Amino acid sequence: MNCKFNQIRIHALLVWLISGCLFSCSSVRSVSTREPVKAVIQEARTYIGVPYQWGGLTRQGLDCSGLVQLSFRKAGLTVPRTTEGLLEVGKRVKLKKARPGDLLFFALSEKRNKVTHVGIVTQKERGKSPSFIHASTRKGVMEGSMDLRYYQKGFKEARRVVE
């Protein structure tokens, strides 16, 4: 019986080693399902500098919700394409409780009553405003901070999509 148990352990170890090699040696970039938030942020950062384009969904031009959708997709997560759709996913959290991977929503239009912008929290240190990545209409995809009055004034809500 002990010999059979050892054979099962050896077989399981071989399967684990072979599958690990197949997935890690693949030329296709894969994302660990155990770390989707890191994958989302890592992917979003690859778009820094891409110009803003309303409705854009390529490296030639992106809008804010397109950046969110592409970044989550690369991590194996499906989210809506529009800012309005993104407002319907996950659960609402307080800004001071926001953590990396959470979405920040803003009403930055002149009327400031309709959410028009979204970004992804990239960093949050205790007692400090979060940093986030987003597609700015003026500067394209960039990483910024909630310390700026412009974003503080336009902030509407934070939502957690990934637990």
* Active site residues per annotation: 64, 117, 134
The token pair at 26 is 């693949």
Taking alpha carbons only, the member of 61, 50, 67, 56 closest to residue 132 is 67
Taking alpha carbons only, the member of 114, 116, 95, 120 closest to residue 43 is 120
What angle (nearest 5°) sits at the alpha carbon of residue 56, between those of residues 29 and 161? 60
Decide if 162 contacts 36 (C-beta within 8 A).
Answer: yes
